[in-house]
A and B are shown apart, each in its own frame.
Chain A
Amino acid sequence: MVERIVYYAGCFANYYDPQIGKALIEVMRQNGIEALIPEQKCCGMPMMANGNVKGAAKNFNYNVKLLSRAASPGYDIITTCPSGNLMFRKEGLAFFDSEEARFVSGHIYDAGEYLLRLHHQGRLDTNFREIPLKVFYHNPCHLKVQNITKEPVALLKLIPGLVVSKVNTNCCGMGGSYGMKAVNYDLSVQIAQKVWEDVKAAEVDRIVTECGGCKLQLEAGTGINAVHPIVLLNEAYRSS
């Protein structure tokens, strides 16, 4: 029997950086796992942030219905989006509770969290090629608050040659579209300043972070390319 997971991509991996989703599918395939991608919409958190509670409820309910149906044979739900993960695990549940929402909340995992679990079970293919890179890992707030901080770093350290020279758990001030808004822009930049300085001081080749918003913020202030850890893992598989 083929092992399967249900993949919730989120808006960033779908519209702005499809490479993340493709990498997830390929990393899973490398480990003998098929990724199913059911129909899905924005998780609803950006709508909540703009006060569109009805729209958020509609999207959330749509998603939990389809995700729970797809995962009903006993599959785990995996996401590469920290905010989507938090939305389904906790934030949305507080306002749009349902049996399906509780099911999704109990079955959704961050991709890094899931892959490290595979590794601890001795099931992760660790036949990675060497990637001689020095990276700065930025832990997005929406993972930090779920206590997912060590897992991504532990995964990255499995890649030979890759050095995680600095781990940052401070907020970068972006918060989805929060930092893009004129009303918040200056505050967002002030918050980011510390992280930007840390990145520059670390003299790294790349930034690694799971969150699309953090990626934009960190690239904007440092000029250094930021990638999702799953993209690096996939890169490490490709030539192995």
Chain B
Amino acid sequence: MAEIPSILVLEPAAEQSQRRTAGIMVKKGPQLDLESLKAHLREIRQHSRDNHISLLEELKRNLDQYAGVKLAIATDAKQAASYIKQTAEGTDLASINKSSVVINELRPELQASGFKTYIRYFTEFKNFEKFEKKVEDYWALPGMHERGLVESFDVRKTVTRLRSSEVRDFVAILGVNAVSAEDGSVFFLQHMTNISKDLEQAKKIILVVSLEKVVKDRGAALFQTRCMGIFGLESILLDLGPKEVEQYDFDSLPTLSGDQGRELHILILDNGRKGLLKDGYKDLFLCLDCRACARQCPIGLHLLANKGMVYSPKNYLLGFLQGWLPPAEACVHCGRCQVECPVEIDIPTLLWKGQFEYYARHGRGLRKRLLDNPELLAKLGSWTAPLANWAKDRVIFKLIMQVVAGIHRQARLPTFHRQTLRKWAKGGRRG
């Protein structure tokens, strides 16, 4: 059997976690130095961002040593889907994991090329209550990232060969958490048992590596994957509702005789990333896709999470920049997405930048132009108060405002004052 690079699957370590939790309760166990952790993670991510070309070359050289792995590089999602279709050799059944690159970028193209894609751990929600209990035990939501649980994410499974007696006729398309350029080892953080089962059962395994997931060495890859758990588990778990439409019982598929025809592919996906590096969005390369930003975003839960996207403000921006989402206008510009980012990406500024560039290219609609100088409207209101105050509460005015300026008729508008603060400060100071 041809050699493959190690595939390491991390999981929360139950016994250890329980001991630690008990330790915290009894004697305030060892606390994690969160700032040191973030500093180390930033160092790893900056290295990946600044050396992505040489890291990719190193990874390619090292993967060449493994006869059991096929390496492919796709410039965009269409090309990636086409490669997977060719690799699948007639199978249209695909198990995918909930990695944002697979769900957001690849899935639409996979479906367009005839694949039926399922997230297999949704079938594990048959026993949802048990799962909920596991979540409570392991992570005590919310706020686990503030606890000293770094050691609670450990390697639970290491796959070093493709031999298996459980092979079934489907393709596993799995977005990885990190890949080591130094030796080609691949790391996953597993929510339940989905990754392990896919590695055990799928006839064709495609490991999807978005360009920024290549890190310098095995230690960095392990650390980054642990950080995915530390900073991201809350958001990831909170986004895991059982969805009937995505369930498929891969376990019930008939097993194939032997493991003939099993293949492991590593598919590197650019999909516009190199361009973003050049266009002033290079800090998006720092992202490990932990979705800590999603936890703070007020619009995410309401806007896109239920539409099948792996939502985070960063993914929202990335989707817009890659062209598969409309201009990121739903952003409320609260700035909260930066608050918990472990690598301190200034997502608020990048969102502004993306919008400005879009308007510069495509112009702005009439309503935007009507509202683009709110101070002028405020001045008009002040000059005409109290008439303006009387008018703003009239139904006919509200309807005109909705039709012309796009202000919702039920929106509460502020009250104008004839004597503004500056007039008061300059002049009589009465009242």
Contact = CB atoms under 8 A, between A and B. Distances in A.
A46 interface: yes
Given A15-B381, A91-B352, A171 B373 contact: no
A236 interface: no
A178 B371 CA distance: 11
Given A179-B411, A180-B407, A216-B414, A144 B379 contact: no
Given A16-B415, A212-B414, A42 B375 contact: yes
B364 A91 contact: no
Contacts of B369: 50, 52
A141 interface: yes
Given A142-B334, A144-B336, A180-B407, A25 B425 contact: yes
B335 A173 contact: no
Contact of B421 (A21, A145, A219): A21
A145 B379 contact: no
Contacts of A142: 334-335
Nearest to A216: B412
Interface string B402-420: 1000111111111111011
Given A53-B360, A185-B410, A220-B412, 5 more contacts: A14-B422, A42-B375, A52-B369, A171-B332, A181-B406
Interface of A is mostly: helix
Contacts of A179: 332, 411
A14 B421 contact: yes
Interface stretch (B87-95, B216-224, B297-305): B297-305
Nearest to B376: A42
Contact of A50 (B336, B371, B422, B424): B371
6 tightest A-B contacts by CB?
A: A171-B298, A52-B372, A175-B332, A141-B334, A185-B408, A21-B421
B128 interface: no
Contact of A175 (B334, B368, B417, B420): B334
Contacts of B425: 21, 25, 37
Contacts of A37: 421-422, 425
27 contacts: A9-B421, A11-B375, A11-B378, A12-B414, A15-B378, A15-B382, A15-B417, A15-B421, A17-B417, A18-B421, A20-B421, A37-B421, A40-B422, A49-B333, A50-B364, A52-B373, A141-B332, A145-B336, A179-B411, A180-B413, A181-B367, A183-B406, A188-B332, A190-B302, A191-B298, A216-B413, A220-B412
Most buried by B among A47, A141, A182: A182
Contacts of B419: 18
Nearest to A218: B412
A94 B411 contact: no
Given A91-B352, A94-B352, A216-B414, A47 B372 contact: yes
Contacts of B409: 182
A64 interface: no
Interface in B139-168: none
Interface string B311-343: 000000000000000000110111110110000
A181 to B, nearest CB: 5
Interface of B: 298-299, 302-303, 329-330, 332-336, 338-339, 346, 348-349, 352-353, 355-356, 359-360, 364, 367-369, 371-375, 378-379, 381-382, 402, 406-417, 419-422, 424-425
A86 B339 CA distance: 14
B422 A182 contact: no
B375 A41 contact: yes
A13 interface: yes
Given A145-B339, A217-B412, A182 B406 contact: yes
Contacts of A11: 374-375, 378
A51 interface: yes
Nearest to B374: A46
A95 B351 CA distance: 12
A95 B352 contact: yes
B355 A51 contact: yes
B339 A22 contact: no
Nearest to A142: B335
Given A37-B425, A181-B408, A47 B374 contact: yes
B145 to A, nearest CB: 17
Contacts of B372: 47, 50-52, 55
B378 A16 contact: yes
B382 A94 contact: no
Nearest to B352: A48
Nearest to B297: A171
Contacts of B381: 15
